[in-house]
């Protein structure tokens, strides 16, 4: 890359880099919104489409099944097509999947839509990481990842706080699903802007082409250390205790605590959206979104903290520990769930901020692509299995107690992996515990 810094909107300036980061982040905005539209609309979908909770859980499972299969090909496609065309292809798949879900008249079309949506979405998340490192390697990398995560999670936050409202305002759950599809189209348009800016940047700056480090190479797997595998195991258990939980949490808060799906307000649609946001601590989907809101606000700061103090494995121990009482207390008591959701939010800030940037530290640079792709594929085993178990257990037992004990159990497993990681890291030189100074 050139080192001179001409003024104006030149690709070598921070202004250009952070503008393109905005569009790179918006690539997955629609898919984050649509991913959780099923959970946000759970109660309404069950009523209108005569679905049980297992089916709702299975719609998340379908997303992950496709993701596990496609993430491996996604890396190859990225290599063959390059970042621009690959990301555009995955964005179009996401849009197509979301449209199928919105139009679905049968359960099978719903599942078909979620499969296509999942195939595009997880591949795009992996490609998005590669694009960020292409633009930010050796620059504001951790901060760029934090900002991208925050912008993506705005999609989730909006999903939980507007989908039920759209459904009740328009008297149609389908309008809410179409809104999700429209936001996926918005992400396709952002992708076009990214494409233009990236093409221009590549020409002017001679940006690095995708290399072997950006895709999955199966023979690399044997070379990973125990630290990498403990990070992966923690990733599966940790995320399985968060996303599959939020998938059905709205129904839990509605069912167990009797919380409304939208706050009672009148006026224009926008004023109702505003009212819903300002009263999110009183609605079932709003309380579900506390986890996301907390993580969204604090992710960039947490990333910066981790960069400065290190202590990644220790922070993962603390984050995993917090999960256990938070889930257990919601399962076995009728106490106000807000403090427990704030605890989950704290864990959801600490663990991802420490976990994702740990990967490049525990694997060789040329294996980072394999490491991230494999971790995403294995993570989706948990993201596929646990929504199904969550729905099934709730349908079988009639309460969410057993499922909450299951999530606390995942917290315990995560805690064990985090301790094993701490031990393994000590043995391998303490790279994860080191702050900026030691990493050099």
- Locate 16 and state its tokens: 């250009």
CB of 376 vs ligand L6ULR443, minimal distance in Å: 5
44 versus 152: smaller Cβ distance to ligand L6ULR443: 152
CB of 375 vs ligand L6ULR443, minimal distance in Å: 9
16 versus 117: smaller Cβ distance to ligand L6ULR443: 117
Closest CA to 102 of 117, 122, 119, 118: 117
Residue 178 sits in the site that holds ligand L6ULR443 (CB under 6 A): no
The C-alpha atoms of residue 16 and residue 266 are separated, in whole angstroms, by: 42
Which residues in 288-327 contact ligand L6ULR443 (CB under 6 A)? none
Residue 376 sits in the site that holds ligand L6ULR443 (CB under 6 A): yes
CB atoms within 10 A of CB 228: 22
Residue 239 sits in the site that holds ligand L6ULR443 (CB under 6 A): yes
CB of 92 vs ligand L6ULR443, minimal distance in Å: 18
The C-alpha atoms of residue 180 and residue 43 are separated, in whole angstroms, by: 17
Q: Applying CB under 6 A, what is the total number of residues that bind ligand L6ULR443?
A: 11
Give residues with Cβ within 8 angstroms of 47, minimum separation 6.
none
Closest CA to 91 of 181, 191, 197: 191
The contact mask relative to ligand L6ULR443 for 27-46 (x = CB under 6 A, - = no) is -----x--x-----------
Q: Which residue reads 């079932």 in tokens?
A: 284
117 versus 253: smaller Cβ distance to ligand L6ULR443: 117
Segment (H or E) for 52:
none
CB of 35 vs ligand L6ULR443, minimal distance in Å: 4
Q: Of residues 122, 198, 220, 307, which one binds ligand L6ULR443 by CB under 6 A?
A: 122
Check the CA dihedral 380-386-391-392 and report its sign.
positive
100 versus 351: smaller Cβ distance to ligand L6ULR443: 351
The contact mask relative to ligand L6ULR443 for 140-169 (x = CB under 6 A, - = no) is ---------x------x-------------
125 versus 216: smaller Cβ distance to ligand L6ULR443: 125
Distances in Å between the alpha carbon of 417 and those of 89, 267, 360, 423, 424?
Answer: 36, 51, 19, 10, 10
What DSSP designation does 322 have? H
At 211, phi and psi to the nearest 5? -125, -175
Task: Please report, as ranges, the residues that interact with ligand L6ULR443 according to CB under 6 A.
Answer: 32, 35, 122, 125, 149, 156, 239, 243, 352, 376, 379
């Amino acid at each position: 890359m050139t080192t001179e810094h001409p003024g104006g909107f030149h690709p070598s300036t921070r202004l250009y880099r952070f503008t393109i980061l905005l569009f790179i982040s918006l690539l997955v905005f629609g898919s984050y919104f649509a991913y959780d539209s099923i959970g946000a609309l759970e109660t309404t979908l069950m009523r209108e489409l005569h679905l049980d909770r297992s089916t709702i859980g299975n719609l998340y499972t379908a997303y992950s099944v496709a993701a596990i299969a496609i993430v491996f090909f996604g890396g190859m496609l990225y290599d063959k097509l390059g970042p621009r065309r690959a990301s555009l292809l995955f964005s179009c798949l996401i849009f197509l999947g979301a449209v199928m879900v919105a139009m679905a008249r049968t359960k099978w079309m719903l599942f078909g839509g979620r499969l296509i949506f999942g195939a595009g979405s997880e591949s795009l998340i992996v490609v998005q990481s590669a694009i960020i490192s292409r633009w930010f390697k050796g620059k504001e990398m951790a901060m760029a990842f934090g900002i991208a995560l925050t912008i993506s999670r705005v999609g989730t936050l909006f999903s939980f706080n507007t989908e039920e409202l759209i459904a009740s305002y328009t008297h149609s759950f389908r309008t809410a699903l179409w809104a999700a599809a429209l936001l996926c189209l918005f992400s396709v348009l952002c992708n076009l802007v990214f494409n233009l800016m990236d093409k221009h940047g590549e020409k002017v700056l001679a940006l690095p082409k995708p290399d072997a480090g950006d895709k999955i190479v199966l023979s690399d797997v044997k070379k990973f250390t125990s630290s990498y595998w403990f990070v992966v195991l923690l990733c599966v258990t940790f995320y399985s205790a968060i996303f599959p939980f939020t998938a059905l949490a709205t129904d839990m808060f509605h069912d167990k605590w009797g919380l409304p799906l939208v706050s009672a307000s009148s006026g224009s649609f926008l004023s109702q959206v505003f009212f819903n946001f300002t009263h999110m601590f009183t609605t079932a989907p709003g309380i579900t979104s506390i986890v996301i809101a907390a993580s969204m606000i604090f992710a960039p700061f947490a990333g910066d903290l981790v960069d400065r103090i290190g202590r990644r494995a220790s922070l993962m121990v603390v984050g995993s520990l917090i999960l256990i009482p938070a889930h257990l207390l919601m399962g076995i008591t009728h106490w106000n769930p807000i403090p427990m959701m704030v605890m989950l939010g704290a864990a959801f800030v600490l663990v991802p901020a420490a976990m994702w940037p740990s990967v490049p530290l525990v694997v060789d640079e040329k294996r980072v692509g394999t490491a991230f792709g494999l971790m995403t594929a294995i993570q989706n085993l948990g993201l596929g299995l646990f929504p199904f178990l969550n729905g099934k257990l709730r349908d079988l037992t009639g309460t969410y107690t057993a499922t909450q004990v299951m999530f606390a159990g995942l917290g315990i497993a995560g805690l064990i992996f985090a301790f094993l990681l701490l031990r393994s890291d000590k043995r391998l030189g303490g790279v994860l515990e080191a702050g900026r100074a030691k990493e050099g």
